[in-house]
Each structure stands twice: as structure tokens, then as C-alpha cells.
Chain A
């Protein structure tokens, strides 16, 4: 075994400084990092544990400013924070699909983003909810929209030495609904073949779609905000022609690959199927919200 040193800074500045050093890797829940390290896929000489830093443990909701989710907060904590399941069900759905109970005790949404997988289960919801990633580096902080955070398989907008500190999600519009689902060939404990999140905003008539966002994951090098799919729904009453156009737009926008979990052709088809279903979930959520 190669040498490894563990660090647990209590201050963000120290974490940023330590993370900038050669061979340093930030550690949140470790459910990706420790496995990758053990398998020799990443070389880590310094593990910088972020869980002692207050800024990365924030979990609070405010009606005006929305949700603040520290990058190291474990997925299990999301279900315990009441407004999340009610207002951001798509985010909770994604977080609760990541691995087992044991994994959810440790894995964080921040880590899910930083791991950079196109099939990450929380990113599509954050994209359609207009979330912003707050990043800290040695020269200060900056913000990157969730839709721009992942830049390629295993790659993110983070530069070496920069840390994802928190994710901010604005409060959803009053007349709205959102949902996330993925397709896997079994019930649980798998990685998405394709996944889709939808966020719909309705007019006062409660039928006309005023705004719509659709994000598709696991079907391109990065998760995609499919603006054409959203546009196909805006102004409609989500009737069959609009749903069909949105599904077609999603199938057209993806750039999938063949791999062990599915063929490119199948993924392209499923992107459309899941778009319809995710829209259906968002509609139901809106109706249930009264």
C-alpha cells in the first residue's frame, strides 16, 4: 500500500489550501473516492476530509432564498429535512436512489456532482430546479449553474484546488411540480441506463404550462438540459402533441453510447419514454400539492 495521509481541517480556507497540493483529494462520504482509491483508479496521497467544515454541512431552507445544501451533507439527511420532499421531490428521489441505506448514510449530493458521472442520480433534478453550485478556491468564490457543472465523464467545472462548498436551489414557483426517475433493469442498487428530471410551472388556470425544464442523464457525456423539450411543453396543456414533441426532442438531443447497461439506440428511445413519464410525475406532484 502506498502512503496516505488523512487531514480533517475545520476551516474552509485550510481545506482549499490542502486540496491544492499534489496528490490531494477531497473526501466527503467517500463512497466513490475510497472505492476508486482502493481499486487504483485514482492515486491519493492526501485525503482531505471536508465533513468538519461548517460551510459544507449547511442544510437549511428559507421560503425566499430556497434551499442551501452543503456539499458534504449525506443523502440520508435530505429525507429528514421536511421541505425537501415536499418542494424538491425530484432531488429527494435522486438522492434516495443512490445505493443502499449504508451508502446514503455517507454519500453526499455534492460528492455525486463532483464524481462527474453522466449517470449521477441527483444532477438532473438540480438542473431542472435551476440550482447553483458555490465553489471556493484560493482566490475567492464563484458560482456555476448546475447545468454547467459537469463538463465530461468524470470531469467537472472545478479547477485543481477548488472545492464545491454548497448547492443553492431557489424556491420552486407556487404553481409547480417536479419529478425524477431513471430506468434500470432491476428494482434497486443499480446505475441509470437513462434518467430524466422534469420541472413544470403552471398558469393560474392550473392546466397551461408556463415553464418547463427537462434534463436527461446517462445519455451523453454530461447530463443535458434539453431546452427544446421544455419549449415543446410551454404554452400547451400537456396534451398528446406537446408530450410527443417533448419526447422526440429529448430523443433527438441525446448522444448516447453502447455499453453494458444498454445500447445507444435503446437509450435514445428511453430518453423520450422517460421524458413523458417524468412530465407525468411533475403533473401529479402539482395536482397533489393542491
Chain B
């Protein structure tokens, strides 16, 4: 018998109580227990980054976190980026640059880029490339994504002045 348990975590600033099975990943818990389907399942091996979320201040692949590990954790997902109808600068710039096609990788890229810009408001091109090397896009290619991240970084810098 696999154990079912209650996991309490702060997800996008909201205290959340989830009923999970010990076999579940954090990705499963977010999508199936919390109903937050913005986080995508890609490879399930930690290679593609589609399931990226920020857990306790670190960027992780939620497919490689067991759901019970989220007990007491602070988790940020793509759903936490926009403030109501006001999109995050990263989301605006991804749209403006058409930095997506099928969109499966996009939530992971947005969350990973947000974590980068929280740590480093003015990353170099190399820094963006290395930081996002764990996020794979099989449609658009990376150039538009890089430009969107740099533009969003500039937006965030000017708004924080």
C-alpha cells in the first residue's frame, strides 16, 4: 500500500493543503492535486525543464521532487507570475518576441528566467544561456527567448529605479 498524506505548502503565496500519494512527484501534486496545470510534464528525467518551479528559493524540476518533500515548502509556479490581469514583464516580452510556438516549454522558461532575474538583474548573454541550459525548446529555438529575457530584464531594472 502506498501512503496517502496531507501536504501543506505555500504555493504562489497561498497556504495550500494537498492530498498526495507517496508515489507522486511534486509535478503530479501541482497539476492533479492543486489544479495548477501551468507547470508542464516533458521528459520526466530532469532533462527538459518544462516542469520547472521555484522551491524554497531554488529552481528545480518538479518531476524530480517527490510530492511529500513539499511539506512546509514555499513554491512558486508560472501561475504566480502575473498579478491578476497584469502580465509579468517576462510574459509580455515572450509574447512580443513570439518566443514560443507550441508553448509546452514556455512555463518552465518563464519560471527559470524569473529565478535568474531575481538573482541577477543584468545577466550577460552567456549567463542567460547557461542558466537556461536545462530548459529545452523544440520549436522556436533559443534566440527569441534570449532576446525576450534581456528585454524583460531591462524592463524590471527600469521599473525598480
Which residue numbers of A lie inside 8 Å of B, CB to CB?
A: 1, 3-6, 8, 27, 29-31, 34-35, 38-39, 47, 49, 51, 74, 76, 99-103, 105-106, 188-189
What are 12 A-B pairs with beta-carbon distances under 8 A? A4-B23, A27-B66, A29-B64, A30-B66, A34-B63, A99-B134, A100-B46, A100-B134, A102-B49, A102-B60, A102-B61, A103-B61
Q: Which residues from chain A contact B68 at a C-beta distance below 8 Å?
A: 6, 8, 49
Contacts A3-B1, A30-B66 given; does A35 touch B46 at CB 8 Å:
yes
The answer to whether B64 and A5 touch across the interface, beta carbons within 8 angstroms, is no
- Write out, one digit per residue, whether chain B residues 105-149 have a CB within 8 A of any chain A CB (1) or not (0): 000000010010000000000000011111100000000000000
Q: Is the interface of B mostly helix, strand, loop or mixed?
A: mixed
The answer to whether A4 and B64 touch across the interface, beta carbons within 8 angstroms, is no
The answer to whether B134 and A103 touch across the interface, beta carbons within 8 angstroms, is yes
Which residue numbers of B lie inside 8 Å of A, CB to CB?
A: 1-3, 5, 22-23, 25, 44-47, 49, 52, 55, 58-61, 63-66, 68-69, 71, 112, 115, 130-135
Q: Which residues from chain A contact B69 at a C-beta distance below 8 Å?
A: 6, 8, 49, 51
Partner of A188, one of B45, B58, B133: B133
CA distance A51 to B65 in the complex (A): 12
The answer to whether B22 and A102 touch across the interface, beta carbons within 8 angstroms, is no
* Ranked 4 nearest A-B pairs via Cβ: A100-B134, A105-B58, A6-B68, A6-B22
CA distance A31 to B130 in the complex (A): 19
Contacts A102-B46, A102-B49, A102-B112 given; does A47 touch B59 at CB 8 Å:
no
Q: Which residues from chain B contact A31 at a C-beta distance below 8 Å?
A: 46, 64
The answer to whether A189 and B66 touch across the interface, beta carbons within 8 angstroms, is no
The answer to whether B61 and A6 touch across the interface, beta carbons within 8 angstroms, is no
Contacts A6-B22, A101-B112, A189-B133 given; does A35 touch B64 at CB 8 Å:
yes
Contacts A4-B22, A35-B45 given; does A106 touch B65 at CB 8 Å:
yes
